[in-house]
Structure formats: C-alpha cells, structure tokens
C-alpha cells in the first residue's frame, strides 16, 4: 500500500486555494466569531432556535434575549457546527440583530447576510441557515410570550435560493 505524502509546497498551495474560497469578512468572523455561547433556555425572555443543513452537516443554535419592556433584543448567543461560512454567517447575523426589535430581526434576509460576507453561490445555504435559525429563535420566544405575537410582523421574503445581486 502506497502512503500519500504532501510536500510543504503542495500544502501551501492547498491552503492558498482554500483562502480564495473565503472572503476577508468570512475569515474574520470565522477566526473571531462574535456572540458565541448560550443563554438560559428556561428564561421566559429567551428564545432558542436550532436548525441544520443536512446537505453539508451544518447545525446552528441561536438564542435571543429580549427586554420585555422595550421588545428589543438585548443579547444574542449562538453555537454552530459546520464550515467556515456557516460559522461566519451566524456570527454576522448575531451582531446584526442585537439591539433590534423582533420585527427588525425577522427582516434580516439570507441575501443580506450572503452579500455582507461575499458568500459564493455554493455557500448560500449557510446564510439561509442563519436566517432560519433567527426565525426559529423569534418563534420560540413568541411561543413563550403569546400576547406579543400580534405586535411582531414577519416580513415576507422572496425565494432565498437565488444569489444576491
């Protein structure tokens, strides 16, 4: 049986080709993810969403902590298992919704996430995963606080599978 070896030059070329797959924004959020952690699921002011993308094994949990008096998202935490784009999309999304109302958080689209991170078409499912996880977290929060459902307007979004402009 022949053992495959990789020369340092070949390894450097492989690493360089991987770096061209990810934008500087993805690398930044992947290397320095924001808001990683978890909140207390039992807290009535915390909504938890868990979603996965079976085609590539990505899984994300996002939690939002909402101020009950103002309806503003005070804290966001996420945990993600997956590729660099999935982690970066969740990191970016967690930053984007902090300080927003629930309605504003639901307005964040996968297209906006993909555009901000310069995701290639093959990685759009990662931005969709982040958007769906936010929606699930908000829905979970509203299930704990049903009197607020009528105050939260979900913006209708177009087909998320098309690449950003």
In 3D space, the residue among 90, 155, 86, 79 whose CA is nearest the CA of residue 125 turns out to be: 86
What's the token pair of residue 68?
């009950």
Strand order of the sheet with strand 46-53? 46-53, 58-66, 73-81
User: Which position among 50, 53, 56, 148 bears the catalytic label?
Assistant: 56
Angle between helices 110-117 and 124-144 (to 10 degrees): 140
For residue 6, indicate whether it is catalytic.
no
Measure the CA–CA gap between 114 and 48, rounded to whole angstroms.
Answer: 23
User: Which position among 76, 106, 126, 138 bears the catalytic label?
Assistant: 126
| Sign of the torsion formed by the C-alpha atoms of 92, 94, 99 and 102 | positive
For residue 83, indicate whether it is catalytic.
no
Compute the C-alpha angle 151/153/158, nearest 5°: 175
What's the token pair of residue 47?
């909504």
Positions annotated as catalytic residues are 56, 126
């Amino acid at each position: 049986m022949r053992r495959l070896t990789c020369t340092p030059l070949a390894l450097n070329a492989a690493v360089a080709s991987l770096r061209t797959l990810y934008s500087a924004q993805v690398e930044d959020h992947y290397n320095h993810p924001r808001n990683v952690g978890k909140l207390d699921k039992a807290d009535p002011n915390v909504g938890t969403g868990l979603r996965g993308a079976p085609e590539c094994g990505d899984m994300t949990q996002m939690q939002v902590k909402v101020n009950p008096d103002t309806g503003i998202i005070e804290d966001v935490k996420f945990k993600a298992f997956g590729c660099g784009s999935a982690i970066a999309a969740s990191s970016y999304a967690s930053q984007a919704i902090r300080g927003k109302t629930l309605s504003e958080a639901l307005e964040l689209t996968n297209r906006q996430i993909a555009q901000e991170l310069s995701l290639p078409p093959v990685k759009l499912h990662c931005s969709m995963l982040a958007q769906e996880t936010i929606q699930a977290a908000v829905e979970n929060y509203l299930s704990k606080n049903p009197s607020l459902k009528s105050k939260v307007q979900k913006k209708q979004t177009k087909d998320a599978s098309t690449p950003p402009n």
